[in-house]
Structure 1
Amino acid sequence: MSKKIISTAQAPAAIGTYSQAVRAGDTVYLSGQIGLDPQSMQLAEGFEAQTIRVFENLKAVAEAAGGSLADTVKLNVFLTDLANFAKVNEIMARYFTEPYPARAAVGVASLPRGAQVEADAVLVLG
């Protein structure tokens, strides 16, 4: 099985030793996205703005891979404060419709660049 590296300027450039996404067959593995603006590489202000930016970044990478967020089969969300979980659900409803992907939500001590939320995803295309 061949693998293809996915990259787009519509999402933040990788800030470490990883690719924005890797496609292996019909499966696309999206790296974690935090709420960085792809042009300024600055973190969005506040939890809601960061969360929206996370999903916009994931959407851009999914589209660069030839799919969309509707192709998501698994989503992982990492939060520095689980009290924000209801807000994640509210914002997620803007980006996903039923049937929803499988999901995990995990409380973490910290995230890169002081972010409050990060998410990664697995898509299946075709």
Structure 2
Amino acid sequence: MFEKVETGIASSKAPLSATVKAGRIVRSAHIAKNPTTGEPITGDIETQARQVFLNLRQALEAAGGTLADVVQIQAYLTDKADAGGMNRIYREFFTAPYPVRATVVVDLLSSGIRLEVLATAVLSSSA
């Protein structure tokens, strides 16, 4: 059984929970969106990646954790040329030892969205 985490980030109109918690495990998915309005933030990959990881940090804090609890990241990019920019921003939020990460290039995400991230975290306690 799992519970939806109330993160303070505007909910999606789609039938989904952006962040859920099952015991010490937290799963969280993010695109670049304004956390207050839910409106997508478009622009270059660095702008979008920064917002994605800010939203992820907010979600994990709401679940009782931090970015240091992240053990895996699945990143979906719409352009392989964006990998370098995403990595620059990634290093602002994560340090060694880095989470396990798979980065996949996909044909399409939501309109104007260049990056979507799915993270798995293991909390140090059942916060």
Do both share a fold (TM > 0.5)? Answer: yes
Between 1:45-54 and 1:99-108, the stretch displaced more is: 45-54
* Root-mean-square deviation (Å): 1.3
Q: Which residue of 2 aligns with 1:80?
A: 78
Q: Which residue of 2 aligns with 1:42?
A: 39
Aligned 8 A contact 2:42 2:113 in 1: no
Q: Secondary structure at the match of 1:112?
A: coil
Write the letter of the residue equivalent to 2:65: G
Q: Secondary structure at the match of 1:114?
A: coil
Give 1:90 deviation, angstroms.
0.6
Give 1:8 deviation, angstroms.
1.6
Question: In the alignment, does 2:10 pair up with 1:6?
Answer: no
Q: Which residue of 1 aligns with 2:99?
A: 101
- Deviation per CA, 1:95-114, whole angstroms, max 9, x where unpaired? 00111000000000111233
Per the normalisation by structure 2, the TM-score is: 0.90
Q: Secondary structure at the match of 1:49?
A: helix
Give 1:94 deviation, angstroms.
0.5
Write the letter of the residue equivalent to 1:36: K
Question: In the alignment, does 2:116 pair up with 1:118?
Answer: yes
Give structure 2 stretches of 5+ with no counterpart: none
Q: Which residue of 1 aligns with 2:58?
A: 60
Separation (CA, whole Å) in 2 of partners of 1:45 and 1:20: 19
Give 1:85 deviation, angstroms.
0.3
Q: How many residues are treated as equivalent by the alignment?
A: 123
Q: Which residue of 2 aligns with 1:33?
A: 30
Q: What's the % identity of the aligned pairs?
A: 37
Q: 2:21 aligns with which of 6, 20, 23?
A: 23
